[in-house]
Structures are given as C-alpha cells and as structure tokens.
Structure 1
Amino acid sequence: MTTPQRLAVVGASLAGLRAVEGARASGFTGSITLIGAEDHLPYDRPPLSKAYLAETPGSPPDTTFRTEDTLRGELGIDLRLGAPASGLDTEGRAVLMEDGTPVPYDALVIATGAVARLLPGTEDLAGVHALRTADDAAAVRRALDGGARLVVVGAGFIGSEVASAARERGLPVTVVEAADVPLRRALGDEMGLACAALHDRAGTDLRRGVSVRAMRRHGEGIGVELADGGTLHADLVVAGIGTDPATSWLNGSGVALADGVLCDRTLATSVPGVYAAGDVAHWHNPLFGQSMRLEHWTSAAEQGATAAVNALNPRAARPYSTVPYFWSDWYGTRIQFVGISQADEVRVVSGDPADGRWVALYRTGERLTGALAVDHPTHIMKYRVMINRGCSWTEALDFAQTRNEQACRTTAAI
C-alpha cells in the first residue's frame, strides 16, 4: 500500500480543524487541503447560541479557533474557504469543487457537519432565522440588540439557549414546541419535562404540544399562526427544529449514506481511503454496541483527529469509541449529560428537580448508561468515567450516596 502524500479534508469546522491538526501532530509532512463552504476561518459553534448572544458592550466575542497565519504558515494548509465541495470522484480520488476544479487526494476526511432545518415557506421571510452559522448568529444578535420580540420554534437545546439569551436581556420570549415533552429523545420524558420547567421559572412562555401552521408578514413584524388557532406576534423568529447531515454533495459518489455517512468502528466509510468525522459521521460505537451520529463538540474534536490519523495509516487504524457528552446553558443553569438516554429506569440521586438543581442516573439492564447533572458540574465527569468502564447500577448508586453524604458533611461543617 502506497503511503498517502495528499490529505484532503472537506469541512472547515471543529472536526475538520482537528483532522488537519491531528495529521500534522502524527508526523504527516505531505500536502493538506482544507475545504470550507463558509468564508470564515474555522470557528467554535457552541458560543453562537450562548455568549455570542449575550448583551455585552462592544463587539461580540471572537469564536475563531486559529488565525490564517497559523493555518497556512505553521500548519502548511492549503486553505480553501467560501468554496463548497459539489461532488466526489472516488475512482479518480478527487474532490470536485463548485467551480469544477478537482482537488486530488490519497486520503480524505469528510467533515461537512450538518445543516439547520428551515421552517417550510419561510426561506424569504425577513426576520426568520435558523442558528447554525456565524452569519446566523450575527443576524440574531442584531435583532436582539434592537429589542426584538422573540418567538422560538422548537424547545431543544439551541432554541432554549436563544430563549435564555433573550430573557437575560429582559425581552419577551415565547417558545413553541410541537411535542408534548421537550427533549424527549435527548433526555427522556421525565427529565425533559424537568428541564422544560426552567423556562417557566425564567418567565419564558413555553407552549408545549402546539405546532406552527404558517408565518406571514404582520405589519412591521411577523405573525406566527399556530395549529390551535392562536397567533403570536414577533419581530424575530428563530427555528430550532433540528439539523440534517450535510451529505447532498456525496450523492452518486458511491459513499454509503444513511442519516449521515456510514462508517465502521474506525470511522472508515464504504470507499477505501475515505473517512468521516463529526456531525456527519454515522458510525458504530463499540462501547454501546450500536450505531450513532452525534452532534456534540467533544466527539467532533475527537473524531476529527482519529479519522485523519486512521486515513493516513489504515493498517494501524484504531476503533473510535466514546461516552457521548454534551452541555447546555439556560438562564444561568448548566445542564450536562453523558451516555445515552434510552434506559429502563431513570432515577434522581441528588438534589430535586423542583429546586432546579439535581443529578439523575440512567439504567439499562444492570449497567449505568447515562447521567444528567443540572447545576452539579463536579459530578458529571465522574459518571462519564464510570460509564466508560462498564460500571454496574449498584456501584453507581453507592457512589451517588457517598457523594451525597460528603456534601452533607461539608454543609454541616460550614
């Protein structure tokens, strides 16, 4: 097998950046081309719905990961921004650019991430936005700076973070959620409802089990018509209704697709020399014995580096496994989750959801498979380690009891 001399990475977000950094860190001295659809240098996405939207004097925080000098100079990257890939020639081993220019490769990492879903019929309606890119965040921030009345469609994490940013500015916010239980897939029914109560405490008007029927101009604002017959009036509407993996450019390439790019345990796709990482990768996680596609910061960073190293040396490719981890900030509250939410039992082991501060554990069979911590930041990584080593449910409960007893002794000493 010929040693790869040309690495191409399609997607210039976190996973793509970690791929090129991981390749260089592994000692790869060949050429690296990093292709990004956006004009921006690689930047951090989580702050876009958090700190970036906060009411702060001056400019919003810079979320750029690396300067252009670092990427081109120190890492020696051929950086192609504002130039989306339009196709992939797997037989000729070339990424096809939108202008028809081929970018040859010996090894390829697909890291194109996901695209935000849009509300049907609102593509040309001013004041209606998704929140996925830096340009999206800039538009939403401008509207909030102008004191916009906000309607958020979707009570998931992104929508809830936007609602939180607006409420912290003192702006009126209504969140419309079609499901009767927000965050059911991410946290399960009981914990989804418990987290949804944070909206009520903050004065956000949360409408559960109500869908949007239509949107149209209403004076200088937007009329959001609901399926129950009501109409909400807004200056700004943010859609937080999920994403779809960015794979349309791969149609006809021979790369197997199904809710993302299908990968094996090493992040290798169905095509030799092609690997995937980040939000677009649907891979087999050996730790849980199931396939999954994660849209989490931590896994994107880890997968990017792993995919690049494996692509450059497939004979020594290492399986990638992880305990999923994500976090979200609402109304000054930190929500953290590790593991998977599909469980036989969910039990609150510390605190009380009624007080807005608690820890819940998720059991599958006799094994700890998930943990939710709301304003208990010192707990969550302990549980992540325990899930990774296959900790039993009994051991997890004993650990929780010990933590509670230690907390009580500390409180009593104070």
Structure 2
Amino acid sequence: MLSDIVVVGGGQCAAVAARTLRRRGFDGHIEIIGAEADPPYQRPPLSKEYLETGDAGGLSLLSEQWCADKNVRLRLGERVLGLDPAAGRVRLADGSVRADAVLIATGGRPRMLPGVTGERVHTLRTRRDADRLRAVLAPGATIVVVGAGFIGSEVAATARARGAEVVVLEALDTPLRTVLGADLGAVCAALHRAHGVDLRLRETVSSVAEGSQGITVVTSRGRRIDADAVVVGIGMEPATEVAEGAGIAVADGIVVDECGRTSVPAVFAAGDVARHYHPLLGEHVRTEHFDSANRLAAAAANTMLGRATAFAEPPWFWSDQYDVNLQYAGHAATWDEIVVRGSVADFDFCAFYLSGGVVRAAFAADRGGDIAGARELIARAVPVDADVLRDDDADLLELVPEGVA
C-alpha cells in the first residue's frame, strides 16, 4: 500500500501526475520537488503567446491553493541530490524524504554551442528565460536564431511579431528535414521567408564575439552578422543525473516501458527525460511534446496505483507560427510516399506519410480536422487508398473499417 509519492521535477508531468493520483482516489502524501522557484506551469506558450505578450494568464498548472486543498506539498527552488530506491528515500541538501514510489520528471536543459556564452546569448526553457528574451525582442532589434527546429521557428515567428529583424541559421538544407523530409521542410522555409525572416540554410555559427553594444556572429560561410542577441535553439539534453546516480537504465533519456516504469521497481519517469517504449511504434522513443508528457505522466500515476496503463496513442504535437497552426501526428523515420490533400502553396493542407500503404504520420497546416482523422488511421494501422486521402471531400474516419480496434 502506497502512502508517500514523490515527484522529482516541478513541471507539466508533476501537475498531471498529482491530479491523476487524486482523481484516482490516492489519499496519501504527495510531494513535488522542483528546481524552479515557480509552481508548475505550461511550457508551450513560452515560445509563443507568453514570449510575445508576457501575459501569464492560463500559464499555471497547479495553484498553491489547489495543492493546499489536496494535501500536495510543493517544494520549489530545491534540487534532488539522489535517490535510494531500496530504502525508499529521496535525498535533498537538507536531509531526505520518504517515498514508496517516485516519478522522475526532470525534463532537460537546452543544448549549447561550444564556447558560445554571454549576456546576449539566450536559450528558451523556463519562464525566466522567456522574460529575459522578451526584453530584447523589439522593433529595430536584430536577432540571430541558431536552429530552425520547432523552438527556433517559434522564436523567429514571435520575434517578427514583435517587430524585430530575424536571421535564422540552419545546418540542414531545409528546416525540419529529418522529421518532415525535404519537400515539406521547404514549405516551412517558405513560411518564414514570406514573413520577412532571413533564413540561411546549410550555414552554421563559426564564432561569436560579444561587445558592449551588441554581438557579432561569423558564420561558416564567413559572413558577419551584427545583432542584439543570439538565441540558440538546437534541441535539449535530458536531465538524467538523478536516475544515473540510482543505477537506473539510461540511453538518451531514462528508459521506461509503455507504463512509465524504469528498470528499478517503484521508480517511474515521464516527460522530456523519458525514453519510453511505444507499443504502436514498436520501439523506444523520446518525444519532447506536451501531449506525450501528459499521457505518460497519467499512465505512470495509474500504474503506481496498481492500474497498469500504457501510453499507446500516436504521438501528436502542434506549433503556432505567424498566423498558421501546424500539427504533426505519428512517427515516421522513413516512408514510401507522401500523399497531400489541400493546397501546399496556400498553407492549407495535410500531408500523409505512408509506408506499406499504411499511414505512419501526418503533417498539416490549418487542418486540425484532418489530423484528428489521421491519428485514428495511424492508431489502427490499416491500409488506405492514397487517392481517397487526396480527396478533400473524403471523410478520413470512413477509411477505418468497422470492427477494427
């Protein structure tokens, strides 16, 4: 019988796990230990609405009042130094706390460019990072964004919305090539250029020099860019130190099963730090997405209480850039063909990634309905007619045969 549950990390997963535990009737003690001083909040708005406006309305995930009412203790601004699973203890700087079960939800830290540091060099992971960056996103400012992945692209779009001039440096020949492929990556490139971004492909940072009046970037092509700030958006590294110190299996994240269980009994992991086995995909994946964090945290909380629950739904995420809503569902490392319905030129389309006649992933611009249908097709893994996928009048859900679970 569990009486004490500790969540290591104070973000999205902590909030979802705590709410799930209470909804499922757990009446024991819940302790959330987070390194940040802020109570749990949403991270997706940090590169979009919150970065643009600073409006924190709706950002909070767990209020201090809810925690008090539900007997959830928030210990903020504290770091967990280690775990002793055998003894059921979580070690802190000023002692330790008891834990019958532990959820590690430590997220990660932004990857940095070697030797690129300084007051004018920014990353975006926390609310304070967003506050610091917003202060320099202003009309007349020049911002260099390194990396055209989703974070870099969202920062570029927000910076343009605030009137800044933006130069984006991307090492690949198209943005997001490894996820979307060359053709759809080129669509993202066109979106940025249509909004005035100076997007430079196959170009990286050679050196950075910071002065009292600004920062100078010299690129791999020998070009000089005088700017007010540099934003490094080249991904993140999972914060696995706590797990490693406890002898828990780690491989580009904490390795967990479909229920969030680690290699050590009574220790679970979820969110950006977890590399979880996905039954639908048949492999371990680490997906740094809001929806995946929610689902795996809920699965882990249920499993702690003896209700083994798998996260088996297709991965899904969204990105708002300029006036376009982009969504991606599924996971496709390779594909046989890409079938498109709608107009790519008008940024009004859904592209389906097929392998063996089965939809493995889908990418859409302003087509949330199509993505909802694609998620059903991906989950069922049934063969589909490519011509029907192309037909804008076809109902995607009708492609799922009756009786297919």
Q: Please indicate the TM-score interval, normalised by the length of the shorter structure.
A: over 0.9
**1:109 is aligned to 2:109:** no
Q: Deviations over 1:79-108 (max 9, x none)?
A: 1010011211122221112x1421210011
Match of 1:162 among 150, 155, 158: 155
User: Is the 2:339–2:352 Cα contact (8 Å) retained in structure 1?
Assistant: yes
Deviates most, 87-96 or 255-264: 87-96
Q: Equivalent residue of 2:297, what SS?
A: helix
CA separation in 2, counterparts of 1:8 and 1:312? 14
> 2:208 matched to which residue of 1?
215
CA separation in 2, counterparts of 1:60 and 1:31? 29
**1:317 is aligned to 2:305:** no
> 2:247 matched to which residue of 1?
254
Residue 164 of structure 1: CA displacement? 0.6
Q: Which amino acid aligns with 1:115?
A: R
> 1:68 matched to which residue of 2?
64
Residue 345 of structure 1: CA displacement? 2.8
CA separation in 2, counterparts of 1:14 and 1:322? 18
**1:332 is aligned to 2:323:** yes
User: Is the 1:115–1:244 Cα contact (8 Å) retained in structure 2?
Assistant: yes
The alignment covers a number of residue pairs equal to: 396
> 2:188 matched to which residue of 1?
195
Q: Which amino acid aligns with 1:239?
A: V
> 2:89 matched to which residue of 1?
94
Q: Which amino acid aligns with 2:105?
A: A
Across the aligned residues of Structure 1 and Structure 2, the Cα RMSD in angstroms comes to: 1.9
Residue 188 of structure 1: CA displacement? 2.2
1:93–1:129: structure 2 CA closer, same or farther, 3 Å change rule?
same
CA separation in 2, counterparts of 1:29 and 1:224? 55
CA separation in 2, counterparts of 1:181 and 1:284? 30
CA separation in 1, counterparts of 2:22 and 2:332? 36
Q: Deviations over 1:29-71 (max 9, x none)?
A: 11111111100010010011001122x4x85545112211111
Alignment of 1:3-42 (within 5 A): 3-42=1-40
Residue 199 of structure 1: CA displacement? 1.0
> 2:137 matched to which residue of 1?
144
TM-score (norm 2): 0.93
User: Is the 1:349–1:397 Cα contact (8 Å) retained in structure 2?
Assistant: no
CA separation in 2, counterparts of 1:28 and 1:318? 16
**1:120 is aligned to 2:114:** yes
Structure 2 runs not aligned, ≥5 long: 397-405
Match of 1:279 among 272, 275, 279: 272
Structure 1 runs not aligned, ≥5 long: 407-414
> 2:350 matched to which residue of 1?
359
Q: Equivalent residue of 2:326, what SS?
A: strand
User: Is the 2:139–2:163 Cα contact (8 Å) retained in structure 1?
Assistant: no
User: Is the 2:146–2:233 Cα contact (8 Å) retained in structure 1?
Assistant: yes
Q: Deviations over 1:301-335 (max 9, x none)?
A: 1111110121232xx41222120101111121111
**1:53 is aligned to 2:51:** yes
Q: Equivalent residue of 1:143, what SS?
A: coil
> 1:390 matched to which residue of 2?
381
User: Is the 1:366–1:393 Cα contact (8 Å) retained in structure 2?
Assistant: yes
TM-score (norm 1): 0.91
CA separation in 2, counterparts of 1:186 and 1:363? 14
CA separation in 2, counterparts of 1:22 and 1:187? 34
User: Is the 2:326–2:364 Cα contact (8 Å) retained in structure 1?
Assistant: yes
Runs (4 or more) in structure 1 with deviation over 3 Å come to 58-62
CA separation in 2, counterparts of 1:260 and 1:186? 19
Q: Equivalent residue of 1:18, what SS?
A: helix
Q: Deviations over 1:151-189 (max 9, x none)?
A: 100001111111111112232100001122221222222
Q: Equivalent residue of 1:85, what SS?
A: coil
Match of 1:264 among 233, 257, 265: 257
CA separation in 1, counterparts of 2:392 and 2:233? 39
Q: Which amino acid aligns with 2:190?
A: A
CA separation in 2, counterparts of 1:239 and 1:24? 39
User: Is the 1:188–1:341 Cα contact (8 Å) retained in structure 2?
Assistant: no
Q: Equivalent residue of 2:221, what SS?
A: coil
Q: Which amino acid aligns with 2:113?
A: L
- Work out which structure has the larger RCO, using CA pairs closer than 8 Å and 6 or more positions apart in sequence: 1
Match of 1:377 among 363, 368, 391: 368
**1:83 is aligned to 2:78:** yes
User: Is the 1:90–1:254 Cα contact (8 Å) retained in structure 2?
Assistant: no
Q: Equivalent residue of 2:134, what SS?
A: helix
